[in-house]
């Protein structure tokens, strides 16, 4: 899971709107939203001076915001060329998804050993956010909240390879889901996520794992 220079994980502030965040983090979130909404296109070079003007940010603040986006795979930086929106190759996503599911399964088995009531509360918070976002048709934040759920499992599992893979592919999986997911089609999918949360609460971990993995496998076929 990616971290900023102060050791704060990305998902800690992009999902929890009630959490106080720095100005750089707010700018990074705003730019990410503009990328997903189509304002910035894949492969487009970001004009850092223009962004500084738009967000009334100094050079250090904008550098930190772009660093966060780069660490999360949203943008890439080319030496002497600038910062570019990462391009998504849809044809590769099924392969990424297969490996993502495999790593999630491996992480789940490790995470359950460490699972506590505090983790369950976080799971509930993410699901409640998902329900709110779905109600208002906010697919950008709905996708991010569900990703945070999976990231909680991967992070708790402590598998270094899984965390590195998750960091490198989170933007790609989010981007595809953002393109393909529509509020009117998400009812059954959302119900499966609810079932997963309920099974975790009742400590039916094997059943919960099965539901989570089957839900992930259908993420790109809605």
- pLDDT value at 177 more than 80: no
Model pTM score: 0.70
Average of per-residue pLDDT values in the chain? 81
- pLDDT value at 19 more than 90: no
Contacts of 34 (CB under 8 A, 6+ apart): 40
Q: What percent of the chain has pLDDT over 70?
A: 81
The three-point CA angle 89-217-165 to 5° equals: 55
Average pLDDT over residues 134-142: 84
- Do residues 216 and 150 touch, judged by C-beta distance below 8 A? yes
Average pLDDT over residues 77-89: 85
**How would residue 64 be classed by pLDDT, with cut points 50, 70 and 90?**
very high
Span 36-54, pLDDT tens digits: 777 888 889 999 999 999 9
**What are the structural domains of the chain?**
10-85 (1.10.10.10), 90-217 (1.20.120.530)
- What pLDDT, on the 0 to 100 scale, is given for residue 159? 74
- What pLDDT, on the 0 to 100 scale, is given for residue 222? 62
Average pLDDT over residues 165-183: 68
């Amino acid at each position: 899971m990616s971290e900023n220079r102060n050791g704060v994980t990305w998902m800690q502030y992009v999902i929890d709107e009630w959490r106080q965040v720095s100005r750089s983090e707010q700018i990074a979130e705003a730019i990410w939203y503009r990328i997903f909404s189509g304002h910035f296109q894949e492969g487009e070079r970001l004009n850092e001076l223009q962004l500084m003007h738009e967000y009334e940010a100094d050079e250090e603040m904008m550098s930190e915001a772009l660093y966060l986006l780069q660490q999360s795979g949203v943008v890439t930086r080319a030496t002497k060329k600038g910062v570019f929106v990462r391009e998504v190759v849809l044809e590769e996503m099924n392969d990424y998804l297969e490996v993502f599911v495999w790593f999630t399964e491996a992480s789940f088995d490790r995470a359950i050993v460490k699972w506590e009531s505090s983790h369950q509360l976080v799971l509930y918070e993410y699901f409640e956010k998902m329900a709110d976002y779905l109600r208002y048709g906010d697919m950008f934040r709905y996708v991010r909240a569900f990703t945070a759920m999976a990231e909680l499992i991967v992070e708790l599992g402590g598998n270094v390879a899984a965390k590195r893979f998750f960091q490198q592919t989170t933007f790609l999986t989010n981007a595809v889901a953002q393109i393909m997911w529509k509020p009117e089609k998400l009812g059954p999918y959302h119900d499966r996520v609810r079932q997963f949360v309920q099974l975790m609460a009742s400590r039916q971990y094997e059943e919960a794992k099965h539901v989570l993995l089957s839900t992930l496998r259908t993420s790109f076929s809605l």
